[in-house]
């Protein structure tokens, strides 16, 4: 019997199947050919939602609506105050609908209900912060160019934005993009993952209730081919922002290149936490456990590898294993559950394949290492897994497993730790644990990552921008830099008086 903490299935009445449709130019509609997709709960096996399955026609119609809405200025030419008022109303409606949205997100994604509630309610703060940016948006001025010259640098909305979001944080990640695009004055076409479409559709209802003009936000449901491909390649789209795998991100960048539209990508990560002997080891161990099991490890910011100083490696790993056994895996609808289900059987098999390959390569599985059966529920769970004896060349140490699998490596010096951290294709985030401020600062300056945490993990705020380097992506989200992603910069140079000297000689 596994010595783990399991939460068995609870008795509950599941909601009726949610029917999701496209939102195009303010109208809800099915696909022209009647095609649909069906989503079964990874934890309960029941049908959660049926969604219209869009194609090229629906994607092009949505782009047409967004283009018209931008060009006629119904949103882009409103004052920042007017745009902010709508965003603030959306935030209120999100909070009022948190329980409804969290329940369906839990059933579609497999994440715990408490986590889903936190994400949905927390997303309201992203909308509020974006509203504040709408009212404080400004450019620059140059009043020192001479007595007869004045120049200003204007910020203008980039135009029509395609937004493609993933299944792991469907509402949170949408809220890292959409309110900032709207604050800038852009119009949008949104494509959620076909695995988790429903909270995006509910948001469409809330946008209409908040008074957003028709056509400003359009939602097209369906697969990457052809919907996502159309949103990336259509010349009427000025920008595409995507969150997902690095492989798909490369494809989107290639599709967008023909029209040279702006591309923002938030992609994968192989994020390290580095633990020095002088750290608060109890807090570090707890953060490591949180970092790898949060959202079942299906998180671009997952702390999927730890680098532990040789002097404490064995004892620290034992502490992490002991804490892992106490983490509650099980029914996502039980508020006591901390870790839910894997999103699909195919993804579960991929996770298990990485662990099997590591074993074959000589690594040791100190905990877990296989599927997990939760009493009363389906098979789409995976054990908390800790793999030791890992070498830097192993796939499990270099590639994004995207599951509850932690790899343990060791180091001797700060320079060696930084070499291991930076010897990766990814550069999304990194963390360091030490009571020595000099160690923390040296690590932070040397680590190739978009975010570095010291003595904490995955703390985030709407004000603090987020994004990666190397193959973890392009551009930034949230914070002021997140708003700037959706802006074009225009320089306006003005001459005061008739002071321009003629260029052609001999004029009278």
- Residues designated catalytic: 266, 300
With H, G, I as helix, E, B as strand and everything else as coil, classify residue 506: coil
Q: Which residues pair with 452 in a beta bridge?
A: 430
166 touches 193 (CB < 8 A): yes
N-term to C-term CA, the chain: 101
The number of C-alpha atoms within 13 Å of 66 and in the hemisphere containing its C-beta is 32
Running DSSP on this structure, what letter comes out for residue 112?
Answer: -
Nearest-CA neighbor of 367 among 357, 382, 346, 348?
A: 382
Q: How far apart are CA 403 and CA 405, in angstroms?
A: 6
Instruction: Determine the Cα–Cα distance for residues 482 and 485; give it in Å rounded to an integer.
Output: 5
Q: Distance between alpha carbon 185 and the CA centroid of its chain, in Å?
A: 22
What residues contact 245, with CB distance under 8 A and at least 6 apart? 267, 268, 400
Q: Which of 174, 181, 227 has its CA nearest to residue 201? A: 174
The answer for 161, left when phi > 0, alpha when psi is -120 to 50, beta otherwise, is: beta
Q: What is the dihedral of CA 481, 181, 186, 171, to 10 degrees?
A: 160
Strands (E), 374-423: 385-388, 405-411
| 488 φ/ψ angles, rounded to the nearest 5 degrees | -105, 150
């Amino acid at each position: 019997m596994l010595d783990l903490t399991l939460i068995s299935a609870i008795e509950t009445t599941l909601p009726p199947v949610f029917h999701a449709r496209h939102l195009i130019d303010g109208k809800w509609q099915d696909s022209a050919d009647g095609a649909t997709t069906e989503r079964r709960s990874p934890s309960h096996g029941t049908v959660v939602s049926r969604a219209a399955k869009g194609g090229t026609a629906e994607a092009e119609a949505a782009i047409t609506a967004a283009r018209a809405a931008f060009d006629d200025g119904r949103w882009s030419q409103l004052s920042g105050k007017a745009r902010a008022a709508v965003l603030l109303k959306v935030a209120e409606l999100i909070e009022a609908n948190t329980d409804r949205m969290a329940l369906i997100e839990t059933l579609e994604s497999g994440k715990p209900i408490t986590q889903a509630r936190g994400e949905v309610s927390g997303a309201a703060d992203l909308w509020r912060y974006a509203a504040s940016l709408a009212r404080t948006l400004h450019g620059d001025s140059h009043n020192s160019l001479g007595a007869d010259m004045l120049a200003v640098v204007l910020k203008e909305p980039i135009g029509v934005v395609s937004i493609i979001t993933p299944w792991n944080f469907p509402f949170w990640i949408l809220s890292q993009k959409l309110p900032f695009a709207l604050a800038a004055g852009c119009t949008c076409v949104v494509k959620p993952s076909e695995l988790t479409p429903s909270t995006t559709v509910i948001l469409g209802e809330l946008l209409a209730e908040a008074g957003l003009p028709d056509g400003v936000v359009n939602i097209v449901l369906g697969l990457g081919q052809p919907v996502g491909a159309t949103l990336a390649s259509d010349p009427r789209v000025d920008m595409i922002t995507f969150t997902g795998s690095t492989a798909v991100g490369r494809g989107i960048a290639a599709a967008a290149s023909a029209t040279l539209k702006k591309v923002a990508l938030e992609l994968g990560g192989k994020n390290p936490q580095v633990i020095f002997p002088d750290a608060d080891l109890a807090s570090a161990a707890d953060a490591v456990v949180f970092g790898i099991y949060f959202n079942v490890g299906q998180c671009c910011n997952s702390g999927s590898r730890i680098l532990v100083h040789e002097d404490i490696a064995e004892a620290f790993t034992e502490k992490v294993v002991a804490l892992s056994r106490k983490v509650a895996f099980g029914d996502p609808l039980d508020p006591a559950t901390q870790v839910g289900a894997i999103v699909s059987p195919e993804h579960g098999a991929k996770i298990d394949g990485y662990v099997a390959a590591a074993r074959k390569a000589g690594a040791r599985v100190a905990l877990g290492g296989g599927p997990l059966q939760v009493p009363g529920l389906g098979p789409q769970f995976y054990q908390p897994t800790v793999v030791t004896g890992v070498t830097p060349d192993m796939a499990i140490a270099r590639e994004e497993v995207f599951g509850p699998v932690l790899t343990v490596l060791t180091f001797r010096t700060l320079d060696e730790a930084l070499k291991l951290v930076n010897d990766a294709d990814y550069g999304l985030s990194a963390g360091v644990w030490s009571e020595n401020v000099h160690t923390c600062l040296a690590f932070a300056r040397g680590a190739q990552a978009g975010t570095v945490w010291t003595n904490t993990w995955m703390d985030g705020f709407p004000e603090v921008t987020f994004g990666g380097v190397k193959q973890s992506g392009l551009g930034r989200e949230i914070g002021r830099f997140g708003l700037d992603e959706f802006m074009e910069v225009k320089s306006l140079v003005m001459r005061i008086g008739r002071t321009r000297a003629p260029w052609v000689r001999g004029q009278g």
